[in-house]
Structure 1
């Protein structure tokens, strides 16, 4: 039962990441597909978005934080697989998402996003490995799955509330 729940949580999290990275959490896919602006930045950390003339590192921090659970969930679900293949999975996911953005012109393709997403995944992978040196795997897995489900329910509730409020305002 625990394995089914953890795999399901991983699958839902990957879907959520795809929705976040490709569609910016939009319910209206047409607004994303109508974007038609293709940009490519291959210079790392060269173009952090500017707000009021100062550099905004918020998006980079958000990318790192949002990919930490991916690393944690990969470790919960694939204990027998070594660190390097899991690292490559995070890197490949991030590169694929950025390439899809470029190909379909649905966002800005940026090497900084690949780097920060991957750093987040690595942090999740290493955090899990570090914690399991001191605490039993099963306890950590239960905590990660419980917190993950709680956060997923909270996120879905917030998005449903937001969608409901938007419909009321129409």
Structure 2
């Protein structure tokens, strides 16, 4: 790790034995660290782009820039959480040719199997984790796309990112590609879009009340 190794070295001896499923905590810290590393390259490029834009006297919407940068970091983090994890990284993965029959195409079969395991943690994380991780996807995409047909455009982004993750897991053999993940991710995206619409409605109501 580049940035968060000291934090992990502090957390592991104190909580490694007491926190259930500590490897998940380790994965999150690892993924945040790597996401920060790759986000820096995006951020430098974005700053250069904005400097050129400002030089041409074009207006910059700073709130939108904040959301856009958060969205980019979030997508990079998602990819590291799901694809480039443990010993896998962009530098050492390679395409592994496999038959498409290894993909779990039938909905809810694998998720149902998780309910019969020794622990229900995997079931809850697979179901609710896949939904929760994609709620920010729907919310931020809806904010960035808040024009005509923003619901369909935001939903398309969520589905596209989820599909990209499943495809990368399959191509690089770094995870199990499952139709359930795509379904749950889509549900999370829809919830996020719904929360954005509610926030917009509340904001407009507050603005209207403020002016009266």
State TM-score, norm by structure 1: 0.69
Task: Tell me, yes or no, if structure 1 residue 22 matches structure 2 residue 83.
Answer: yes
Q: Is the 8 A contact 1:37 1:107 kept in 2?
A: no
Task: Tell me, yes or no, if structure 1 residue 46 matches structure 2 residue 106.
Answer: no
**Cα offset, 1:23, TM superposition:** 2.0
For structure 2, the residue ranges without an aligned partner over 5 or more in a row are 1-61, 208-212
Higher relative contact order (CA 8 A, sep 6+): 1
Count of aligned pairs between the two proteins: 137
Larger Rg: 2
* In structure 2, C-alpha distance between the alignment counterparts of 1:58 and 1:116, rounded to whole Å: 11
Deviations 1:40-85 (A, max 9, x none): 1001110123531768232110010010001111122221142112
**Cα offset, 1:27, TM superposition:** 6.6
Instruction: Show the 5 A alignment for 1:145-160.
Output: none
CA 1:81–1:97 in 2, change beyond 3 Å: closer, same or farther? farther
* In structure 1, C-alpha distance between the alignment counterparts of 2:71 and 2:87, rounded to whole Å: 21
Q: Which of 74, 77, 84 is 1:13 aligned to? A: 74
Task: Tell me, yes or no, if structure 1 residue 122 matches structure 2 residue 185.
Answer: no
State TM-score, norm by structure 2: 0.56
Q: Which runs of 4+ in 1 moved over 6 A?
A: none
* In structure 1, C-alpha distance between the alignment counterparts of 2:145 and 2:153, rounded to whole Å: 10
* In structure 2, C-alpha distance between the alignment counterparts of 1:17 and 1:5, rounded to whole Å: 18
